[in-house]
């Protein structure tokens, strides 16, 4: 059973959004007791999609045998990150969330991260992502919204966010 999971909804594996999510997960792991086992699930490696400008020779995802829905269900905490596409979270993440059974996240604390090019899209993506996660049963104590222009400072952003919000995350997990 995985204690915590980083779920990355970017359609390209290895994205800056994913790097921010991993930095937040690392910071949470260092600040919130009991979260010593972390796994990462890149939806781009699980769900095959093609986005504009992406080469046709995408690698085949590794056959890990791990069911992504079981990984999400078994985590106490999920850090879910997405860039903003057209003012909301990605269709890739939406498709994944739509396939979750009702109540699937009923015992899961989720910390959403929204990355966007403008402040308006940071806010709208944060709001819609929080709303859909609550709809599928997640407890969402905090949300991190980050402008794309700040991604070079991912580690510092993650450290500050967790320093400011670790108590809220810990209370939600209690």
Closest CA to 9 of 157, 125, 164: 125
Model confidence pLDDT, tens digit, residues 99-118: 888 888 988 999 999 999 99
Structure token pair of residue 125? 């993506």
DSSP 8-class letter at 150: G
pLDDT value of residue 59: 42
Separation between Cα atoms, residue 66 and residue 71, nearest integer Å = 7
Strand, coil or helix: 6: strand
70-99, pLDDT tens digit by residue? 888 889 999 999 999 888 999 999 989 988
Mean pLDDT for the stretch of residues 35-57: 71
């Amino acid at each position: 059973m995985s204690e915590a999971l980083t779920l990355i909804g970017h359609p390209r594996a290895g994205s800056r959004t994913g790097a921010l999510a991993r930095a937040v997960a690392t910071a949470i792991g260092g600040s919130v007791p009991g979260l010593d086992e972390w796994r990462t699930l890149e939806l781009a490696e699980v769900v095959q999609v093609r986005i504009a400008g992406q080469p046709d020779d995408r690698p085949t995802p590794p056959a890990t045998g791990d069911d992504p829905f079981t990984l999400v269900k078994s985590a106490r905490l999920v850090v879910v990150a997405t860039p903003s596409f057209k003012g909301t979270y990605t269709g890739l993440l939406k498709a994944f969330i739509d396939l979750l059974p009702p109540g699937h996240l009923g015992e899961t604390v989720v910390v959403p991260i929204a990355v966007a090019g403008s402040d308006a899209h940071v806010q709208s993506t944060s709001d819609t992502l929080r709303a859909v996660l609550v709809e599928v049963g997640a407890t969402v104590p905090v949300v991190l919204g980050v402008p794309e222009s700040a991604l070079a400072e991912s580690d510092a952003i993650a450290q500050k966010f967790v320093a400011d919000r670790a108590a809220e995350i810990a209370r939600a997990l209690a």
